[in-house]
Structure 1
Amino acid sequence: MTDLSTRARQILAELGAGDPFAEDGGLVATSPVDGSELGRLVAHTPAAVDATIGGAHAAFEEWRSVPAPVRGHLVRELGELLREHKEVLGELVSIEAGKIRSEGLGEVQEMIDICEFAVGLSRQLHGLTIASERPGHRMMEQWHPLGVVGVISAFNFPVAVWSWNAALALVAGDAVVWKPSEKTLLTALACQALAAEACRRVGAPQALSQVVLGDREVGEVLVDDPRVPLVSATGSTRMGKQVAPRVAARLGRCLLELGGNNAAVVAPSADLDLAVRGIVFSAVGTAGQRCTSLRRVIVHESIHDELVARLSKAYGTLSIGSPLEPSTLVGPLVDTPATEAFLGAVEQAQADGGRLVTGGTRADQMSGAVTGGQYVVPAIVDMPAQTDVVKRETFAPLLYVLTYAELDEAIALHNEVAQGLSSAIFTLDVREAETFLSAAGSDCGIANVNIGTSGAEIGGAFGGEKETGGGRESGSDAWKAYMRRTTNTINYSTELPLAQGVEFQ
């Protein structure tokens, strides 16, 4: 048993998850830190998933009648448990997902933040009163609990994405069945243990929040079950294109958070010190494995050379190594295929005429890299044009640099890709900023000015357009996805007039 395996087991025990491992388990939990095995777990059978959904549906039928402000007590309790265990849960995120310590802790803080948001929301699930054209009538809208919400999450945000869905779904009156990525099973079990404890403390049904473990077969059961009216799936565009038709075939709802190929425009007026800091974090944070990671920089030709030189210098200062070391800024990629995709994209970009500015190699021999882990040197490639490899999302710290002359050219380059998640412009010109944010500007669900593409706050709705899927999670009115709307008309008169002046005597 490795030191990381021992530590992971200690954390699970501390969080109330017990010992979930089985020697003959078919699911292998590993750590990208050094590639070591953390333990083996047993996958759920389709029959077990079916039973889990049935239990969640029964819990929903009880929970939906609990007043929303009382439902908020459960999420408040979950938030308190997350505060209490932030350090160790953040450490487990680093062990299992490979995030640096600061980002692991930040992800748990994001969970705490969404719980705070949802508790307030539990007293603000407002409907509308609508003027009726008929005398003595009133119309109104109400929002009611939807049912069981299926959550399918990816490895790169192994706990935060679940919390975005679960916190809103629970205050909305729903139950949640979560299928985590096969690459991050232990963090899911840890969160489930905390959710179960929160349910116990407030007397909520234990089956409100459940986890099912397994591969594609387990996910398909969740996707196909008519007792799951909403499937919230986070992952690749390829995955989303498989999930959406299956849910649509039974007329269910989908909330999709898929790929991103995010760009930042750097205008001549930009504060380059600010731009460099924003670009570097967005491009190499989480080793480039965020859906909002910066993939493309579109820089004005007059400042191209200076910006590339500054970025290259900044990249030269990045510390690569174990994410558990406080000084590390760039941890490992999640697995060998991720490394191969990174190296292949760098090679293809150069074949397309790109100039490798820095990085683009394995980092196995560098100080700080841990044997067995997939460590790479973040790359910058100066491209003559937006070729196919640039338009394709590579989930790694690979940044392409493109050049423009006029703002409309930059926006065209920006919008040319199939994905539409996050975007940014660095400029001190209000006209450029407003143009970028306008309907004729960025076509993404997130558009920023003078900050990078990653690091969204929970107060705003998160999601994107085009092949990003169109879903919205987290803040603003994203809660409406987890509820159903009814329009009510109340006649308090003694007459029965029909709408639109119809006569039926």
Structure 2
Amino acid sequence: MSENLLTKAFINGSWTNGGGGVFDVLDPATGHPICQVADCVANDVEKAIDAAEKALETWKLKTPKERATYLLAIRDHLLQSKDFIATTLTRENGKPKTEALGEVGFAASFFEWFAEEGKRQYGETVPSPVPSKRFITIRQPAGVAALITPWNFPIGMVARKVAAALAAGCTCVLKPAEDTPLTALIFAKICQDAGIPSGVVNVIPCSRTRVEEVGRILCHSPKVRALSFTGSTAVGQWIYSQCGQTVKKLSLELGGDAPFIVFPSADLDAAVQGAMASKFRNTGQTCVTANRIFIHESIHDEFVKRFSLAMEKELKMGSGLEQGVTQGPIINKRQHDRLVNLVKGAVASGAKLVCGGSSPGGLYYTPTILTEVTPEMPISKEEIFGPVATILKFSTEEEAIKLANMSQRGLAGYFYSNNLSQVWRVAEAMEVGMVGINEPMVSTCEAPFGGVKHSGLGKEGSKHGLDDFSHLKLLCFGV
């Protein structure tokens, strides 16, 4: 299949070699190279920014209806290429192909959503305090948008950012994750096939050694007027500091530390299935995965029993291209070794290993349950990003909320309860941007996605997804 893969950067409507040569893209399931991809350097980034700035002159003048036509064409091309995209995504990311197929559909939904929502970027009329003036507001595109996307959703996160930026009237410079550039380059070809004008979407892959160089240019360039990043809190904090001198619009979707609470009134079977879905999707490598599972002491043992049985029955480890596999490899050796050390450290500190806890070879890690975990353990404080479920007991609602809110990260949180009064209290008390109540899946194009505290700024998806790519302008008329 490698002969069908696109490996060059996409700048100003043309496929070009990177100034830094090439770098290997590895298959995490085998550890073998899939192919080599263009390694972009500073000059390539500047060319992409210049192309986007030039294309902005005409793209921002297109009507929302005209831009919607392009977005719907991208949607159609995504769906037409669904199998090829999903296969490529699985090869470079490792997730099961069934999940990859779902991600392509998820990506397409954002282009459909923002095609329509872009037509509804309404202004306002503001009642004037004096007879001699009239006030109205309008929305205008922010300008060139730099988009930095993660490896765990190589097409989903690209779509969520690009669709909103294009709908708002911005042009884009996309820097995909170094582990998963191939899916982003397929997306560039889809934009080309959909007739997107040259320079409106540019894709500049680079190797890990050049990430800081490329990121610094995107942050410092005065031509880039908006930057959207999804990734770790540490990198997000660095980007936040680097963008200060150009005072650009900034949206950050950063790391999570999601609490998952099960109260005594919960439907235990539903809670177990919710934990399965939240914890083990993409082998636990999502920012909204259940990171700390809090179970009331009265149902703790029964929950652990049912949870471990569900894991044994439903989870199958292997290459994401194999039928029936639900758990692929960890994305790279760095993440794999970090996961191994987190679990070893927890067990050494007194956590009990109920199941799993081993690395059978390569980048695979067995789905794991740890009980008797305490809030002081590093595994309770760090984003795990792997198929490891840490379970902590609690006694009261107040204790559960306190434990859930101990983290400086606040992206998503989940809880299961059939006590209506408790549902309202806990939902309002959790210090997160999104709450799943008796429901593990919170992300959809129609709803706002984003966190609080160290989990970031801004919202993606929903009508609010256009805000980070547009400015509100006041027009004051003397009459």
The superposition leaves residues 297-349 of structure 1 with CA deviations (integer Å, 9 ceiling, x where unpaired) of 11111000000111111122211111011200111101111111111111111
Unaligned runs of 5+ in 2: none
Choose the corresponding residue for 2:153, options 136, 150, 157: 157
The alpha-carbon distance between structure 1 residues 157 and 322, as it changes in their structure 2 partners (threshold 3 A), is same
Aligned residues of 1:93 and 1:104 also touching (Cα < 8 A): yes
- SS of the residue aligned with 2:119? coil
The answer as to 2:330 corresponding to 1:333 is: yes
- Corresponding residue number in structure 2 for 1:445: 433
Q: Cα gap change, 1:455/1:327 in structure 2, threshold over 3 Å: closer, same or farther? A: farther
Count of aligned residue pairs for this structure pair: 468
- 1:75 and 1:292 map into 2 onto residues whose CA distance is 27
Residue 456 of structure 2 corresponds to 469
Q: Does residue 1:74 correspond to 2:74, yes or no?
A: no
- Separation in structure 2 between the aligned mates of residue 226 and residue 403 of structure 1, nearest angstrom: 51
1:10 paired residue number: 4
For residue 368 of structure 2, the aligned residue among 373, 379, 387 is 379
Q: Give me the whole-angstrom Cα distance separating, in 2, the residues matched to 1:39 and 1:25.
A: 13
Q: Paired residue for 1:252? A: 248
1:432 to 415, 422, 435: 422
1:423 counterpart SS class: strand
1:107 is matched with: 103
Question: Aligned residue for 1:351?
Answer: 348
The one-letter amino acid of 1:205's match is P
Alignment of 1:478-489 (within 5 A): 478-489=465-476
Q: How does 1:401-412 map to 2 (within 5 A)?
A: 401-412=391-402
| C-alpha separation in 2, matches of 1:388 and 1:130 | 54
1:170 to 1:376, Cα distance in 2 relative to 1, 3 A: same
TM score, norm. by length of structure 2: 0.94
Aligned residue identity for 2:254: L
Structure-2 change in CA distance of 1:224 and 1:313 (3 Å): same
CA shift, 1:351, in A, is 2.1
Deviation above 6 Å: which 4+ runs of structure 1? 16-22
Matched, 1:270 2:262: no
Name the CA shift for 1:238/1:93 in 2 (closer, same or farther; >3 Å).
same
Query: In 2, are the aligned partners of 1:421 and 1:464 still within 8 Å (CA)?
Result: yes
Select 1:208's aligned residue among 200, 204, 211: 200
Asked whether the 8 Å contact 1:352–1:387 carries over to 2, the reply is no
Which of 271, 275, 281 is matched with 2:277 structurally? 281
Distance 1:152 1:358 in 2: 37
What secondary structure, in the 3-state scheme, does the structure 1 residue paired with 2:57 have? helix
Contact 2:346–2:373 (CA under 8 A) maintained in structure 1: no
Aligned residues of 2:146 and 2:174 also touching (Cα < 8 A): yes
CA distance in structure 1 between the aligned counterparts of 2:16 and 2:53, rounded to whole angstroms: 25
SS across alignment from 1:51: helix
Q: Residue in 2 aligned with 1:417?
A: 407
Q: Is the 8 A contact 1:445 1:462 kept in 2?
A: yes
Unaligned runs of 5+ in 1: 1-6, 365-372, 493-505
Indicate conservation of the 8 Å contact 1:463/1:471, yes or no: yes
Q: Matched residues in 2 for 1:92 and 1:384: separation? A: 38
CA contact (8 A) 2:434 2:442 kept: no
Instruction: Note if contact 1:177-1:211 (Cα within 8 Å) is conserved in structure 2.
Output: yes
Q: State the secondary structure of the residue aligned to 2:167.
A: helix
Q: Could you list the per-position Cα deviations for residues 434-463 of structure 1 after superposition, in whole angstroms to 9, with x for gaps in the alignment?
A: 11121xx111011011012x4511111111
Q: CA deviation at 1:167?
A: 0.6
- Output aligned runs, 1:181-330, within 5 Å: 181-198=177-194, 200=195, 204-214=196-206, 215-216=210-211, 217-317=213-313, 318-330=315-327
Shift of 1:38: 1.0
CA distance in 1, matches of 2:223, 2:299: 56
State whether structure 2 residue 443 is matched by structure 1 residue 456. yes
5 Å matches for 1:99-178? 99-178=95-174
The 1-side partners of 2:37 and 2:98 are apart by 28
Matched with 1:502 is: none
After TM superposition, the score normalised by the length of structure 1 is 0.89
Structure-2 separation of matches of 1:147 and 1:322: 42
Deviation at 1:223, TM superposition (A): 1.6
* Contact residue 72 and residue 119 of structure 1 kept, 8 A: yes
Distance across 1 between alignment mates of 2:357 and 2:153: 24
Cα distance in 2 between the residues matched to 1:150 and 1:305 = 48
Contact 2:357/2:365 (<8 A) preserved? yes
- What's the CA shift string for 1:130-175, capped at 9, x where partnerless? 1111114321111001111101111101111111111111111100
- Supply the distance in 2 between the matched residues of 1:9 and 1:314 (Cα, whole angstroms): 41
Distance in 2 (alpha carbons) for counterparts of 1:272 and 1:486: 51
Q: Distance in 1 between matches of 2:160 and 2:307?
A: 33
* C-alpha contact 1:20 1:41 (8 A) present in aligned 2: no
Q: How much identity, in percent, do the aligned residues show?
A: 29
Q: 1:20 to 1:99 in 2, by over 3 A?
A: farther
Distance 1:411 1:137 in 2: 50
Work out whether residues 263 and 296 of structure 1, in 8 Å CA contact, stay in contact via their aligned partners in 2: yes
SS in 2 for 1:473: coil
Displacement of 1:18: 11
Which residue type is aligned with residue 457 of structure 1?
T
Give the whole-Å Cα distance in 2 for the aligned partners of 1:38 and 1:81.
24
Q: d(CA) in 2 for partners of 1:322 and 1:48?
A: 35
Describe the superposition over 1:211-264 as per-residue Cα deviations: whole angstroms up to 9, x where unpaired: 112132122211211111111111111111111101012212221111111111
Partner of 1:503: none
Distance in 1 between residues matched to 2:5 and 2:82, nearest whole Å: 11
Q: Per the alignment, do residues 18 and 90 of structure 1 end up closer, same or farther by CA in structure 2, a change over 3 Å counting?
A: farther
Shift of 1:407: 0.7
Aligned partner letter, 1:387: E
